[in-house]
Amino acid sequence: MRVHIACIGRLKNGPERTLFERYEDRIGKAGRGVSVGPLSVTELGESRAQRDDDRKAEEARALLAAMPAGAVIIALDEAGKTLSSAAFSHELLRLRDAGTGDIVFAIGGPDGHGNALLEAARVTLAFGPMTWPHQIARVLLAEQIYRAITIASGHPYHRA
């Protein structure tokens, strides 16, 4: 199962990019053994619309247009449900075992996701009730995908 992150905003050079690239590389290597990955990233620019609803709608259209046809969409949203790492791993493997070819994790812009994307999403997930900067949310997501792979493969990285 191919894993994609589609996001509004670009990750600039710096410690966040370095850490993200470390997990991206780990996902590519460790994921082969459990048929998850590689990880690809699509970065889209923020809308310049004046109203926040217009920005969210425009960004939602751009995100949806950038996704592979038939992909399962998981939206990251502060109002989404929270999962333990083990439950996240279980859900990722359940989708893989169901024959999912592509899974896309969508990270919206500063205003959040537009309704079109939220309606297209199979589920919305949150990294807790706090709001995280997008560059950190991307690193957290990559780490959790890697952790899910290590849980699936029995690697000692996850010590529950």
2-153: CATH topology? Alpha/beta knot (3.40.1280)
What percent of the chain clears pLDDT 90, i.e. is strictly above it?
90
Q: How far apart are CA 74 and CA 94, in angstroms?
A: 14
Task: Write the CB contacts of 153 (distance below 8 Å, at least 6 apart in sequence).
Answer: 30, 33, 34
**pLDDT tens figures, 46-94:** 999 999 999 999 999 999 999 999 999 999 998 999 999 999 999 999 9
At 132 the pLDDT is 86
At 19 the pLDDT is 97
**pLDDT tens figures, 15-38:** 999 999 999 999 999 999 999 999
At 100 the pLDDT is 97
What residue ranges do the domains of the chain occupy? 2-153
Residue 160 pLDDT class (50, 70, 90 cuts): low
